[in-house]
Structure 1
Amino acid sequence: MSSSKRKDTEGSKLSLEFAKTDVDAGVEGPYLAVFPGIAPPKETPFNIYKPDHEEPKSKKKRRILEADTGKVEFVGQNFGENARNGFCRYVIAIRDKKTDKITFKDAPVIAVNRTIKSLKNAKVHTSSMDQFLVAKNALGEAFGTKKAKQQIKSVERNAVNVSTLDKDAGILRDTIAAKTSALPSKAEIKAEADEDRPIPPYNLNATKVEEIYNFDDLITPAEYQLIPFKSILNNPNQPITVLPFQGSSYVNDSLMALMSVSKKDRHKIRVLMYISYLMAFRTIPDKKLDDSDTVNRIMGGEVPSLILENFYERFTEMPEDSKKRHTFTPKSKDKLLSWIFVLALTLENFNIDAAVMTRDLSLKQNRVNELWKSLGCKVNELTATQKAQLGPNASTEEGKNLKRAILTAPLTFPLPKRGPRAK
């Protein structure tokens, strides 16, 4: 067994060679460049130079590296004060695929510094006010009182020598310029916020409201076929008893309205059952997500396993540093709520009472309005026609606060808020 293992590991031998011929022939490169702070773009071309004056044989390896991006100059050298000191020798291995020969080449290290061209010739000029203060202090030293002389000396001791800060000022300018250039624009901030939204997949380029949220992304075709809607059809007098979550006025009222007509809308029944599954899943305690007995009891025991598996995949997370397998996070909870809201929008022709889910989900109206807006809805006051349909209820306090959540195309999201959320 051991002999066969040794035989399996044997392969073609590689030929190793140090590129001595290149060194003798004066072939340049490669070089390892070190960029303290910020590095230039990858496509920036660099040139390598030798010092102009004659040098002894011991200094023939001196090189100067240079590049110009238009606004910033990059210059480095492997000798002098700015050279990178070290006791390591670096080489780069290059393999020839045809001959299987590996060639090692010397790779000297060059530290590269940068200079902003617009600030290269900047100088600090002494103002006339500075000259006036110098003359004034001289008079104070010659003819001033003891208290005045002490005050002049105190100011001189605490004065900052600006000339000693010239070098630091250049570093600060470079740092500020680099940091500000790397700051994202408003468009980039908005795009990043849109991408990170805990909402269903959406089509930002949709021209029709029906195309903004694809129904198959909300309920996959496989899930849709597994929804046991016939159990509701078999209980026309008490359809609510079949639902795993029976505390939703929206689902209950909508289901009773569907069962009161002769021709049952099976699509709406499926979607309402799916919403009930989502609402029930939301009530599972975080610590009981991996307790199958608790999950089966809360979900009613009749939810198809594929739907339950997809719920875990979409609306829970599995932290690496936790002993629990699954857990709810604030983001995953918002994602679950957004799924419920978008499904309700599809049933209501994308125009729904903004308060319809407030009591069902035990949320405050301000929080519900934020969720509608995060989906791209506009939360508007009732129109005159809608208020007239309310009749006497329009004058009540509850009627005055009624609003509609309306989804329109093209899809737009609110700009991200700055600062902490108001309490």
Structure 2
Amino acid sequence: MSSSKRKTAEGPKVGLQYAQADVESGVEGPFLAVFPGVAPPKSTPFNVYKPENEEAKSKKKRRIIEADTGKVEFVGQNFGENARQGFCRYVIAIRDKETDTVTFKDAPVIAVNRTIKSLKAAKLHVSSREQFTQAKNTLGEAFGTKKIKQQIKSVERNAVNVSALDSVAGILRDSISAKTSALPSKESIKAAADEDRPIPPYDLNATQVEDIYKLDKLITPAEYQLIPVKSLLEKGSNQPLAVLPYQGSTYVNDAIMAALSVSKKDRHRIRLLMYINFLMAFRTIPDKKLDDSEMIKKVMGDTPSIILENFYDRFTESPEAGDKKKHTFTPKSKDRLLCWILAIALTLENFNIDAGALTWDLSLKQSRVNELFKSLGCKINDLTATQKAQLGNAAEDSKSKKRAILTVPLTFPLPKRGPRAK
């Protein structure tokens, strides 16, 4: 064995150097990124940031890298609590083939965390709210008044533990189901509302409009025969309206004078108009004077007693007040009286009437009269082209005029929900 040392074969040498020039000129990178879990696509660009203040020598190598893929955000840093702990220093060797040199560059290791952007805001919101509440309660318990401390304790006592309700959730569902099954159906509610309407007796199954509100239900045969039509006819043209108890109805007065102007008097129409006049007069009696015979005589004149008795039965309530029985108007009984007037007027006008014909006579707003017509089952429609043409020059008035029309089958509006709009 030869004792001479083996000579190393000589060949081309590679120059090694440290990228000190890049460090001094501020060239960034590279960085070794560690992705726990899911890594972004290789084509994802990352941005590098420096802390605002880097005066201290120990802070000059602090860096933050960030990338955004649209749905996921990646953020990492080589300092602080989220920095990767280790005692090794990593460098990357970069070989330049043209100059045949290898350059070493520092490569700080950065642990990158991912955050789903759609959940980020929610988590921050809940966290900040809980932190604020805890801080507020701590301050209140330390420096608050006795009242504030009691409020804090009350809120803590009344806080609902959602997890504790899981065991009774089934019982609550069964209890709610049992209670809701006993609730009335939509059809039964509508039927009850129709029964409670302050309107004359009606036939819901009527196939002809005149059978909906039959005349003998509006005016009994006994009342009809006792209407004093002769006293009005005997007056002739000598102030026939003087026999009427209520003088303030334009609709009734004009209709009666029109009926008397023809040679053949329509006694049936005059009877119905006189009955409407009796109803209007009865409506003007003060509530406290319903049992005052002198007031009744003054307001109602010579109205037959049977008609007055039926008025009291239909349109007043009789609450017990000690040993003396008195009569009184209620909101429902007043509406019932108004609906009776409108139903007879519909009969007179062949169930197609000017909705504003009785507005002034009843001292009501048009919207209120329309509501009463609807409660009777009428539809409030605009004038037809023929009706507008009949008005002639009063075309502007036709825009505001409406017709209340009763048709078959009879339908009522659905009950309103909530309080009436003011």
TM superposition score normalised by structure 1: 0.60
Q: Is the 8 A contact 2:383 2:398 kept in 1?
A: no
Q: Does 1:289 align with 2:290?
A: yes
> Which residue of structure 1 aligns with residue 348 of structure 2?
347
Partners of 2:161 and 2:399 lie apart in 1 by 68
Partners of 1:318 and 1:185 lie apart in 2 by 33
* Matches for 1:119-158 after TM superposition, within 5 Å: none
Query: What is the deviation of 1:264?
Result: 0.4
Q: Does 1:392 align with 2:390?
A: no
> Which residue of structure 1 aligns with residue 207 of structure 2?
207
Query: What is the deviation of 1:239?
Result: 1.4
Q: Does 1:256 align with 2:257?
A: yes
* Matches for 1:14-413 after TM superposition, within 5 Å: 165=165, 168-237=168-237, 238-300=239-301, 302-320=302-320, 325-395=326-396, 398-413=397-412
Other structure's SS at 1:356 match: coil
Query: What is the deviation of 1:172?
Result: 2.6
Partners of 2:190 and 2:203 lie apart in 1 by 16
Query: What is the deviation of 1:319?
Result: 2.1
Q: 1:240 to 1:183 in 2, by over 3 A?
A: same
Other structure's SS at 1:202 match: coil
Residues 125-170 of structure 1: CA deviation (Å, up to 9, x unaligned): xxxxxxxxxxxxxxxxxxxxxx9xx9xxx9xx88755675466544
Other structure's SS at 2:353 match: strand
Residues 331-383 of structure 1: CA deviation (Å, up to 9, x unaligned): 00000000000101111100100000100000000000000110011110001
Q: Is the 8 A contact 2:245 2:281 kept in 1?
A: yes
Letter in 1 for 2:311: F
Other structure's SS at 2:398 match: helix
Other structure's SS at 1:392 match: coil
Partners of 2:336 and 2:414 lie apart in 1 by 19
Letter in 2 for 1:385: T
Other structure's SS at 1:297 match: helix
Q: 1:166 to 1:298 in 2, by over 3 A?
A: same
Other structure's SS at 1:359 match: helix
Question: Which blocks of at least 5 consecutive residues in structure 1 are unaligned?
Answer: 1-146
> Which residue of structure 1 aligns with residue 18 of structure 2?
none
Q: CA RMSD in A?
A: 2.3
Question: Which blocks of at least 5 consecutive residues in structure 2 are unaligned?
Answer: 1-134, 139-151
Q: 1:160 to 1:375 in 2, by over 3 A?
A: closer
Letter in 2 for 1:387: K
Residues 267-311 of structure 1: CA deviation (Å, up to 9, x unaligned): 1111111110000000000000000100110001x1111110000
Partners of 2:161 and 2:306 lie apart in 1 by 73
Other structure's SS at 1:256 match: helix
Partners of 1:176 and 1:216 lie apart in 2 by 49
Q: 1:161 to 1:400 in 2, by over 3 A?
A: closer
Query: What is the deviation of 1:177?
Result: 1.0
Partners of 2:200 and 2:214 lie apart in 1 by 9
Partners of 1:164 and 1:241 lie apart in 2 by 82
Partners of 1:279 and 1:324 lie apart in 2 by 24
Residues 33-89 of structure 1: CA deviation (Å, up to 9, x unaligned): xxxxxxxxxxxxxxxxxxxxxxxxxxxxxxxxxxxxxxxxxxxxxxxxxxxxxxxxx
Partners of 1:276 and 1:215 lie apart in 2 by 16
Partners of 2:297 and 2:167 lie apart in 1 by 70
Partners of 1:310 and 1:320 lie apart in 2 by 19
> Which residue of structure 2 aligns with residue 418 of structure 1?
417
Other structure's SS at 2:342 match: helix
Residues 14-46 of structure 1: CA deviation (Å, up to 9, x unaligned): xxxxxxxxxxxxxxxxxxxxxxxxxxxxxxxxx
Partners of 2:240 and 2:411 lie apart in 1 by 38
Q: 1:216 to 1:163 in 2, by over 3 A?
A: same
Q: Is the 8 A contact 2:317 2:327 kept in 1?
A: yes
Letter in 2 for 1:328: F
> Which residue of structure 2 aligns with residue 126 of structure 1?
none
Query: What is the deviation of 1:184?
Result: 1.7
Residues 385-422 of structure 1: CA deviation (Å, up to 9, x unaligned): 10000000122xx3320111110011011111111111
Letter in 1 for 2:318: M
Partners of 1:340 and 1:162 lie apart in 2 by 60
Partners of 2:169 and 2:284 lie apart in 1 by 59
Other structure's SS at 1:280 match: helix
Letter in 2 for 1:245: Y
Other structure's SS at 2:367 match: helix
- Percent sequence identity is 73
Q: Is the 8 A contact 2:218 2:344 kept in 1?
A: yes
Partners of 1:194 and 1:224 lie apart in 2 by 28
Partners of 1:160 and 1:271 lie apart in 2 by 68
Letter in 2 for 1:334: D
Partners of 1:170 and 1:340 lie apart in 2 by 56
> Which residue of structure 1 aligns with residue 33 of structure 2?
none
Query: What is the deviation of 1:187?
Result: 1.3
Residues 169-199 of structure 1: CA deviation (Å, up to 9, x unaligned): 4443233112211122221111111110000
Partners of 2:368 and 2:250 lie apart in 1 by 19
Q: Which structure has the larger Rg?
A: 2
Partners of 2:265 and 2:193 lie apart in 1 by 41
